[in-house]
Structure 1
């Protein structure tokens, strides 16, 4: 065969392979679309406005329902969260989201040609971008103070799960008014048992803000243990309050913390149970949720908390009383990262 003949055969083979690859991709896409449309029991999602300002009480969350609005922010009435949901008109997608007083923080993936990067986008009440900041790893937790002045986020910079011990985190706090960013809480001083504490293995995650725009709570991990710490934004210092606390969430009245606690005897990949801590008496109460919850709960009111558990669409939201009584119930299918407005 001549050189020209061999070249013609090679070109023909390449074209055939390209056609086969294209057909395979299109078929896979079509199967995915049919699967998304056919998924039974999925919620109805419509396009519309998602507003973070004053108005009727509502639940905002990351929509996990299969279809064109997956991963977009969506909203539903707080009194009927399982009904039709409205996905944001601007198509804002977030891995984690939180908002208060008309200010939101959206932790996003930025897809590149070779790798993904992440950013924290601060948005106004109409979900318009006000500022953006790089996030050094996989987003994990996000919070906004009740006044909307401060935002905090946590990312994994090593590992991607809290279940084991081989991970590291970075937690940032932002003053949304001044733009002052503290990229890592590790610059804060630590007080434990009345003494200054220093260690190279310190990790922070899971900030929750008090209403005074000065104090917050968070998880501190060091020496193979976790602690609840109370932080002061003015003195830039945290004080150890209690042991074996992860992902705290402060009640609206500031008197209790609900958190996930590692319980001896549970599986290594599902080691937590939800507990409530009375900050005055330091008395712990186990909540009535028997499953392992790997989430930072939100308070739906003064008596109940909401949290995510794995579900058919990725995650579903559940609620349970915060006093140890009652029992959990499913609240919303195909949703994660909730916030009540």
Structure 2
């Protein structure tokens, strides 16, 4: 083989390899672009200004694939399936009330993910942030915006099993005072102080900045507790209550309850408890609800169920009537207009 032939073969090989490289690059770019485009049937999302105190708007975490996945987005309350306005702020869990927001975020730190809670103003600007000890799972803001709470898993990653541990913190958004672990509060069971190494606290829902409800687990049982930040107490009220959510008028608690005979990996049904009579009402939702429901209004609950994009939001009447309805696809962690603060 002559030197000219060898050169020609070498050039042909280089050109072929270059063609393969270009093809691979274009294919990868195409797949990335495809990922950034909304999936067929998914909601329209576009960037814009989102504020937490805008009247007539609902806010939530967008789950649709694309460049705005995980961002806090806004839609008209009267058109929940309409085009979404994306804020650019990404949250794993989110809640807002009275123009105050709490955003639980993942932050890449080398080869690992760290987590933090970010306190936001009405324009989603960061006011302060706080390191988290584990994986975010719940977040709430009090109706007056003066307190925020969050729960993280510090071991395990599901409420369904028994091998998990949580840490729940409550923040005074005015002073910055942080109660880092509600397990340090005095737990009263049957009116008497109860101390145990296995106590877990999670799922805060606020009546006001001082008073709240939450779940306490100990001895293989769960309890609805009435919490007082000033007295630093947790008082057991009712058994078999998880992830409570207080109604706007403060008279009822929506919650997930472990149903007798349900599968171990799908144990929960959605109930409502009347705090005056302690009477339980099963909602018409018969599927497994692993979420802390929110009240869309005084009569309607909103909660997440698995969907094509990871999570969809559903509604059901709180009084046990009617049936479940799909509210919006590709959405999680909704917040609706907060009721006026109590005097």
Q: CA deviation at 1:101?
A: 0.7
1:176 maps onto 2:173 in alignment: yes
Query: Which residue of structure 2 lines up, in the alignment, with residue 189 of structure 1?
Result: 186
What are the within-5 Å matches in structure 2 for residues 61-80 of structure 1?
A: 61-80=60-79
Query: Which residue of structure 1 lines up, in the alignment, with residue 124 of structure 2?
Result: 127
Structure number with larger C-alpha Rg: 2
Relative distance call for 1:101 and 1:24 in structure 2 (3 A) is same
Give the gaps of 5 or more residues in structure 2: 1-16, 338-343
Q: CA deviation at 1:36?
A: 4.9
Q: CA deviation at 1:46?
A: 1.2
Q: CA deviation at 1:38?
A: 6.4
Q: CA deviation at 1:119?
A: 0.2
What are the within-5 Å matches in structure 2 for residues 162-241 of structure 1?
A: 162-211=159-208, 213-241=209-237
Rounded to whole Å, the distance in 1 between the matches of 2:201 and 2:320 is 27
1:84 maps onto 2:80 in alignment: no
1:287 maps onto 2:283 in alignment: yes
Query: Which residue of structure 2 lines up, in the alignment, with residue 30 of structure 1?
Result: 30
1:319 maps onto 2:315 in alignment: yes
Q: CA deviation at 1:34?
A: 2.1
Note if contact 2:37-2:67 (Cα within 8 Å) is conserved in structure 1.
Answer: no
Pairing partner for 2:149 from 146, 149, 152: 152
Q: Counterpart of 1:139 in 2: which secondary structure?
A: strand
Note if contact 2:119-2:126 (Cα within 8 Å) is conserved in structure 1.
Answer: yes
Q: How many residues are treated as equivalent by the alignment?
A: 322
Note if contact 2:151-2:169 (Cα within 8 Å) is conserved in structure 1.
Answer: yes
1:95 maps onto 2:95 in alignment: no
- String of CA shifts for 1:15-63, please: whole Å, max 9, x gaps: xx9x98997676345224325536211100111111012x322210000
1:106 maps onto 2:107 in alignment: no
Relative distance call for 1:256 and 1:29 in structure 2 (3 A) is farther
Pairing partner for 2:256 from 254, 257, 260: 260
1:118 maps onto 2:146 in alignment: no
Rounded to whole Å, the distance in 2 between the matches of 1:153 and 1:303 is 25
Query: Which residue of structure 1 lines up, in the alignment, with residue 44 of structure 2?
Result: 44
Rounded to whole Å, the distance in 2 between the matches of 1:84 and 1:286 is 34
Rounded to whole Å, the distance in 2 between the matches of 1:103 and 1:233 is 19
Rounded to whole Å, the distance in 2 between the matches of 1:232 and 1:103 is 21
Rounded to whole Å, the distance in 2 between the matches of 1:38 and 1:87 is 13
Q: CA deviation at 1:214?
A: 1.8
Q: CA deviation at 1:259?
A: 0.2
Q: CA deviation at 1:266?
A: 1.2
Relative distance call for 1:304 and 1:75 in structure 2 (3 A) is same
- String of CA shifts for 1:99-143, please: whole Å, max 9, x gaps: 111110000000122100000000000001000000110000000
Note if contact 2:315-2:327 (Cα within 8 Å) is conserved in structure 1.
Answer: yes
Query: Which residue of structure 2 lines up, in the alignment, with residue 10 of structure 1?
Result: none
Query: Which residue of structure 2 lines up, in the alignment, with residue 56 of structure 1?
Result: 55
Rounded to whole Å, the distance in 2 between the matches of 1:99 and 1:217 is 17
Q: Counterpart of 2:31 in 1: which secondary structure?
A: helix
Relative distance call for 1:20 and 1:194 in structure 2 (3 A) is farther
Rounded to whole Å, the distance in 1 between the matches of 2:242 and 2:22 is 47
